[in-house]
Every structure is written in structure tokens, then in C-alpha cells.
């Protein structure tokens, strides 16, 4: 049976969820901004501190390393202390490290600061979707959780624009420091937001959980939802052992698999190296390459909006499968375009397929991965399970960042993009066979599904 509690709420009564989702999505925005800002900032840092290429790589890579650490630590914290408190602490960390990196007197200081930024990103990257998922009504959960991905992609574009605006004065300190503004808004905003009612109930605070639920649903009639949440709260939890056990193993495989595929199909080579790719495709002027990169960023945002509008209507699976197919096709074309570097048309084919690739990611794997991992795990270990998938995601991100340039050297651009495309075919088959359809299902219903030992694909049926 598909549960629909919450489905009868008009959009108007969800005002509170809109506000809470928008505020917590500032965590996503900081994720995007702080990962995007470095591409422009590093040019000036390199000059100011006369960095060697190796140290420059450390400056760039330190955020991703920090994110892995943050994701490792964050899961237990969100389960133990609550989603809201952790988001507030993360905001403080973001603010502190924004100011710290802006003032950095030495490279070592800067690197440590960027690792701390990374820790905050690692925690925020999954705590934001977790919090939003747990406060959303069933029928709009896909939309609300995807606020996070919109904010993330928007954050990347804002970072590009800030870099562009401040490049005239070489203002890398301001580029970093400006992140303090959304950090403060996130921290202050969360003070006024309630804790997740689901987390409260799982910690034995049933009355408080119920009153939060009444407040955010705009009605006293929350009995059905409360009953379901209490059923999940009553489940014994063996934590690690339970997650690795036979009942939850499929959910773990889905989360970790999607985490890896989201990265090893190459998205961040485009996000981080787009100007270089454009230049090697024939757009030789740096400013045109940067403009084209901004275009990629905007398509990323726009197609995420399309996903947001469709996720609760057509479902997660169709968007994921269509998006992945688009990625595979565009990677094939992109690779082929680089086979004939002398053809003048190459640059347009390359630009077109790059746009198609990013658009396809934005409609599928981008938002759907973060959404699904916020939905498919049982209440009591949700933070921990999400953090495991998030660690996988950031580790794969690091791996791709470290290997992209070497791969291009060894296999050339065609070979590298085709390799990502091939992995994409594997990702598609994986998703087709294993990814469940969570549209219209309450989080508690999804948990019951796993506990009954059913196959993931039976979920949407
Ligand atoms: C991914 C990031 C990526 C971003 C691009 C996110 O879903 O996790 O690694 O940079 O999308 O939009």
C-alpha cells in the first residue's frame, strides 16, 4: 500500500516547510560556492604565495579531503545530537573558516582553513537533504529536498560571478570571505527552525515531535504520521551491523553505488575544468572560455529546476534513467569531437555535448542521488547510513580529481570521455536493476519495505 499522509495538504499550508527548506538549503549553497570559488581564487593565491604546482594542487584538493573527513564524522553527530544542532554548528564552522581563509597570512594557514571549509561541506552535503526530507510532506518531498541541489548549483554560479567580478583586483581574500554572509544566515535562520520531528520521536521526545509536526503541517490532524514515525522509532537498531545485514544491504548498495556513479561518470571534471576543456576544443580566448563555463553553470541550475518540478510527478527512476542515458550519449559525442581536433565545427559540437551532458546530470544523477539517500534509510540509522554514502561520494570525487589530467595524458580526451561514458552505461544498468521508486511513499513505508526483505524494485509497484 502506498501511504499518502500529507498528500492532502495544499501548497499554502506548506509555507513553513518552504521557509525551513530554503534556509537549510543555504548549506547546499555554501557547498556549491566553496567548491566553485577556488577555480578563480587559486590563480591569485598562486601569485601571492608563489606556489609550486604540487602545493597548488594541495590548496585546491584540501576542500575535498576535508569533505571526506566531515562526512565520516557527521553521521554519528546528526543521529546523536539532532539535525538542527549539527546544521547550526556547521554554519559556525563555515563562517569561521570563511573569515580564517580570508585572513590567511601563510599557505599552511590557508590549507588548514580550506580543510575546515571542507569538513563543513562534508557535513552539510548530507545533513541538509536529511533535514529537509524529514520535515517534508510525502507528496512534495522530491521538490523540497531538491531545493538543496538548486542552491548548490546556484552557489557554483555565484562563485563564478564573484570570481569574475573580483578578478580585476585579484581579490581572493574577499572571494573566500564573502561566504561568511550565507553562513551567518544559515546559522541564525536555523535558530528559528524546529528540530526534525522524526529525529525528536526517535529520541523519545514524542510530544515535542508531535507539536513540531502540527506546526509544520498547519493542522492538528497528524495522528497517522505520528503513528508511523513511532513505529519506526520503536525499531531496534544494531547500527553498523544492521546496515550491513541482509535486510538493509540492498539500501546500502543503492546509496553507495549511486554515490560512486555520480562521481566516476566525470561531472566534476566538467565543473572544475570546463574552461580548459573549452580552450582545448578551440575557444582559445580565456574570457570566451570563462563565459562558456558560466553558461554550463546556468544550464546546471535550470535543468535542476526542471528536475524539481518533475520529481514528484514522474518519479525518481525515470528522471535518473533518462538523465543517465543523456550523459552517456553526450560523452560519446564529446569524445568523438576530440578525435578530429582540426575540424572547425568541433568546438560547437564539443560545447553542445558538454551542455547536454551537464543538463542530463542536472535532471538525473545530480539531484536524485542526494534525494534518494535522504529517503531510503531507516530512521534510527539514517544519519549514519547517509554519511557512509556521502563518504563514498566525496572519496570518488577526490579520485576523479586526482586522475583526470593523468587520464587525459595517457588516453587522450576521446579515451577519457569514452571511459566515463562506459562507466555511465554500467551506472544505467545498475540503476535500472536496483534503484527503487520512492515517489509517493512515506519514509516509514520505505523502511517497512526493507524490513520485509523485499527487492528494491518492488517498491514503486
Ligand atoms: C555533486 C557535486 C557536483 C554538483 C554539480 C552534486 O550533486 O555531488 O559533486 O559538483 O552536483 O552540480
Candidates 35, 146, 264, 268: which one to mutate for ligand 1, based on the most atoms within 8 Å of Cβ?
Answer: 268
Confidence of residue 13 (pLDDT cuts 50, 70, 90): low
Query: What is the per-residue pLDDT for 238?
Result: 60
Q: Which residue has the least CA distance to atom 10 on ligand 1? A: 268
Rounded to an integer, the average pLDDT of 268-296 is 81
Ligand 1 centroid – CA 125 distance (Å)? 10
Span 328-379, pLDDT tens digits:
999 999 999 988 877 888 888 988 999 999 999 999 999 999 999 999 999 9
Atom of ligand 1 nearest to the CA of 366: 7
Query: What is the per-residue pLDDT for 239?
Result: 75
- Evaluate the CA torsion angle 202, 207, 211, 214 in order and state its sign: positive
Q: Which residues line ligand 1 (CB under 6 A)?
A: 149, 152-153, 262, 267-268, 271, 300, 366, 370, 393, 397
Query: What is the per-residue pLDDT for 281?
Result: 81
Ligand 1 centroid – CA 128 distance (Å)? 14
Angle of CA points 11, 360, 260, to nearest 5°:
100
Ligand 1 centroid – CA 267 distance (Å)? 7
Whether the per-residue pLDDT at 25 is higher than 50: the answer is yes
> CA-to-CA distance for 269 and 162, rounded, in angstroms?
21
Atom of ligand 1 nearest to the CA of 152: 12
Quick one: cell of 110? 590557508
Query: What is the per-residue pLDDT for 311?
Result: 97
Instruction: Round the average pLDDT of the chain to a whole number and report it.
Output: 92
Residue written as grid cell 561531472 = 267
- Crossing angle for the helix pair 180-191 and 15-24, to the nearest 10 degrees: 140
Span 228-250, pLDDT tens digits:
998 888 777 667 788 888 899 99
Ligand 1 centroid – CA 366 distance (Å)? 6
CATH number of the domain located at residue range(s) 2-193+235-460 in this protein: 1.20.1250.20
Closest CA to 303 of 352, 358, 248: 358
* Segments making up each domain of the chain, as ranges: 2-193+235-460
Q: Which residue has the least CA distance to atom 3 on ligand 1? A: 268
Atom of ligand 1 nearest to the CA of 153: 12
Least confident of 54-58, 107-111, 428-432, 439-443: 54-58
Candidates 271, 323, 369: which one to mutate for ligand 1, based on the most atoms within 8 Å of Cβ?
Answer: 271
DSSP 277-343: HHHHTT--SHHHHHHHHHHHHHHHHHHHHHHHHHHHHH-HHHHHHHHHHHHHHHHHHHHHHTT-TT-
Contact yes or no for 41/98 (Cβ under 8 A): no
* 27 CB-near residues (< 8 Å, 6+ apart): 87, 90, 91, 124, 125, 127, 128, 148, 151, 186
Span 77-108, pLDDT tens digits:
999 999 999 999 999 999 999 999 999 999 99
Query: What is the per-residue pLDDT for 42?
Result: 87
Candidates 262, 273, 302, 304: which one to mutate for ligand 1, based on the most atoms within 8 Å of Cβ?
Answer: 262
CA dist list (Å): 35 to 64, 215, 220, 381: 8, 35, 42, 28
Exposed/middle/buried for residue 54 (C-beta within 10 Å: 0-12, 13-18, 19+): exposed
Q: For the chain, give percent helix, strand, coil, nearest 5.
A: 80, 0, 20
> CA-to-CA distance for 128 and 24, rounded, in angstroms?
6
Amino acid at each position: 500500500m502506498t501511504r499518502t499522509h500529507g498528500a492532502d495538504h495544499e501548497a499554502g499550508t506548506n509555507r513553513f516547510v518552504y521557509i525551513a527548506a530554503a534556509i537549510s538549503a543555504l548549506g547546499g549553497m555554501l557547498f556549491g560556492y566553496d567548491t566553485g570559488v577556488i577555480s578563480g581564487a587559486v590563480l591569485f593565491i598562486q601569485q601571492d604565495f608563489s606556489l609550486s604546482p604540487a602545493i597548488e594542487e594541495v590548496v585546491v584538493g584540501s576542500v575535498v579531503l576535508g569533505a571526506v573527513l566531515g562526512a565520516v564524522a557527521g553521521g554519528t553527530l546528526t543521529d546523536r545530537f539532532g539535525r538542527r544542532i549539527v546544521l547550526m554548528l556547521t554554519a559556525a564552522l563555515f563562517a569561521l573558516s570563511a573569515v580564517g581563509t580570508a585572513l590567511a597570512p601563510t599557505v599552511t594557514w590557508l590549507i588548514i582553513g580550506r580543510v575546515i571549509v571542507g569538513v563543513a561541506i562534508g557535513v552539510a552535503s548530507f545533513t541538509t537533504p536529511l533535514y529537509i526530507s524529514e520535515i517534508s510532506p510525502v507528496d512534495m518531498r522530491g521538490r523540497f529536498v531538491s531545493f538543496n541541489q538548486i542552491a548548490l548549483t546556484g552557489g557554483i554560479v555565484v562563485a563564478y560571478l564573484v570570481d569574475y567580478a573580483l578578478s580585476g583586483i585579484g581579490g581572493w581574500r574577499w572571494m573566500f570571505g564573502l561566504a561568511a554572509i550565507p553562513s551567518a544566515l544559515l546559522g541564525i535562520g536555523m535558530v528559528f527552525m524546529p528540530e526534525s520531528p522524526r529525529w525528536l520521536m526517535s529520541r523519545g521526545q514524542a510530544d515535542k515531535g508531535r507539536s513540531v509536526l502540527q506546526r509544520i503541517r498547519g493542522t492538528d490532524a497528524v495522528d497517522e504520521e505520528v503513528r508511523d514515525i513511532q513505529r519506526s522509532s520503536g525499531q531496534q537498531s544494531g547500527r553498523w551491523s544492521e546496515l550491513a545485514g541482509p535486510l538493509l544491504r540492498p539500501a546500502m548498495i543503492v546509496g553507495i553505488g549511486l554515490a560512486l556513479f555520480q562521481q566516476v561518470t566525470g561531472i566534476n571534471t566538467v565543473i572544475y575544468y570546463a574552461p580548459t576543456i573549452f580552450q582545448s576544443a578551440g575557444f582559445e580566448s580565456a574570457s570566451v572560455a570563462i563565459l562558456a563555463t558560466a553558461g554550463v553553470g546556468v544550464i546546471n541550475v535550470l535543468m535542476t529546476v526542471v528536475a524539481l518540478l518533475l520529481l514528484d510527478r514522474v518519479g525518481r527512476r525515470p528522471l535518473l534513467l533518462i538523465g543517465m542515458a543523456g550523459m552517456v550519449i553526450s560523452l560519446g559525442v564529446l569524445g568523438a569531437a576530440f578525435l578530429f581536433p582540426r575540424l572547425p565545427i568541433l568546438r560547437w559540437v564539443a560545447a553542445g555535448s558538454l551542455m547536454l551532458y551537464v543538463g542530463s546530470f542536472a535532471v538525473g544523477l545530480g539531484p536524485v542521488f542526494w534525494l534518494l539517500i535522504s529517503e531510503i534509510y531507516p530512521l534510527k540509522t539514517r544519519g549514519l547510513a547517509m554519511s557512509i554514502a556521502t563518504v563514498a561520494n566525496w572519496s570518488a570525487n577526490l579520485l576523479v580529481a586526482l586522475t583526470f589530467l593523468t587520464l587525459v595524458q595517457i588516453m587522450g580526451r576521446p579515451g577519457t570521455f569514452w571511459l566515463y561514458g562506459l562507466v555511465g552505461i554500467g551506472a544505467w544498468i545498475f540503476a535500472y536493476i536496483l534503484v527503487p521508486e520512492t515517489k509517493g511513499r512515506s519514509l516509514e513505508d520505505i523502511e517497512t519495505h526493507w524490513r520485509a526483505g523485499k527487492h528494491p524494485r518492488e517498491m514503486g509497484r
